[in-house]
Amino acid sequence: MSNRDSILNRNGKSENNHVDKHMISLFGPVDDDDDNEKVPRSPFILTGLPPEPQEGNIEYKLKLIDPNPDRLEHLITQMNWRLQEGQGEALYEIGVEDCGTFSGVSSEELEASLATLKTMADRLDASITKLHERKLENERHIVEVLVRKVPDDQHFIDLRVCVLGTVDSGKSSLVGVCTHGELDNGRGRARLNLFRHLHEIQTGRTSSITHEILGFNDLGESIDYRCCRTANEICDRSTKSIKIVYV
C-alpha cells in the first residue's frame, strides 16, 4: 500500500496539497522540496497551520465543550458534510483555531471535546480514533482525530492500490508483510505467502498480476490473514478494505 497516498490525499482535493504537507510536518518529518531543508521531528516546529480549508474532509476545532442542542445539531451536520467530502473519513484537529493557530486545550477541555466529538459521531453511526497528540510548550494539547463512517450503500470503505516496481525491487515481500502481518526473514519468506504456482516458488518471482487484500476495523487495527482464513472473512470483519494489485 502506498501509505503516503492514503494520507496525502486525505482531504480528497488535490488543490489542498499545501494543507496536507503542513499536516504531515506537524506530526512527523517531511522533506521540503521548495528549499531542500528537512523539517526535524518536533512537536514545536510549527506555531500553526494554513487557514482551515472550506472544502475537503479536514476540520479545525479549538474546543467542543457542552454545546447547546442547536449548536450540537449544527456540528453534526457539519461533520456529516466533512465525511461526505472524504468519502467516509474526516480529520478533526482539536486545539487549532480556524485561522490555523495552535492555541491548544487543557487536559480537561480535551476530555470534554473528545466526549462531544464522540456524541456527534454516534449520531451519524460513525467511529472516532485518536491518531496523534502533541503537547505544546504551555502544557496545552493539540489532537488529531479520525472520524470514519461506512457509507450507507456500502459494507465497508473500499480503496484500491497498485504497486509497481522493477524486477527484484521487493514488491512481493512488501505486500506479503502488509497482508500477512509477518516480517520477512531476509530470505524471501514473506513473499512465499503470495506465490500461486510452483515455478514462482522456484524462481522467487511472480509471473502474473496478483491481487491481495488488507482490511482495517473501526479502531484502525489491521485485519489480515493472521486472523482470517479468506478474503471474504477479511471483508466481513473490516470497515475499510484495501485491495492491492501488483505486477
8 grid coordinates? 496525502
In 3D space, the residue among 156, 133, 121 whose CA is nearest the CA of residue 43 turns out to be 133
H/E segment holding residue 91: strand 89-94
User: DSSP of 100-158, one letter per residue?
Assistant: -BB--B-HHHHHHHHHHHHHHHHHTT-EEEEEEEEE-TTS-EEEEEEEE---TT-SSEE
pLDDT in tens for each of the 247 residues of the chain?
A: 433 333 333 344 433 333 344 444 444 433 444 444 433 333 334 678 899 999 999 999 999 999 999 999 999 999 999 999 998 899 999 999 999 999 999 999 999 999 999 999 999 999 999 989 999 888 899 999 999 987 666 677 788 999 988 888 888 888 889 898 888 888 788 888 888 777 777 777 787 788 899 998 877 788 998 888 888 888 888 888 899 988 7
Radius of gyration, CA atoms only, the chain: 20
Q: Phi and psi for 233 in degrees, rounded to 5?
A: -70, -40
In 3D space, the residue among 158, 162, 129 whose CA is nearest the CA of residue 146 turns out to be 129
Q: What are the CA-CA distances from residue 69 to residues 75, 82, 133, 174 (Å)? A: 10, 20, 28, 49
Helices (H), strands (E): how many in the chain?
8, 8
Question: Cβ distance 89 to 148 under 8 Å?
Answer: yes
pTM strictly above 0.75: no
CA distance 176 to 188: 10
CA distance 101 to 96: 6
In 3D space, the residue among 101, 94, 9, 104 whose CA is nearest the CA of residue 46 turns out to be 101
Question: Cβ distance 65 to 32 under 8 Å?
Answer: no
Question: Per-domain residue ranges for the chain?
Answer: 3-148, 157-246
- Identity (one letter) of the amino acid at 64? L
CA distance 103 to 84: 28
Question: Cβ distance 240 to 216 under 8 Å?
Answer: yes
CA distance 21 to 246: 27
β partners of residue 128 = 147
- Identity (one letter) of the amino acid at 34? D
pLDDT number for residue 167: 83
β partners of residue 89 = 148
CA distance 71 to 210: 50
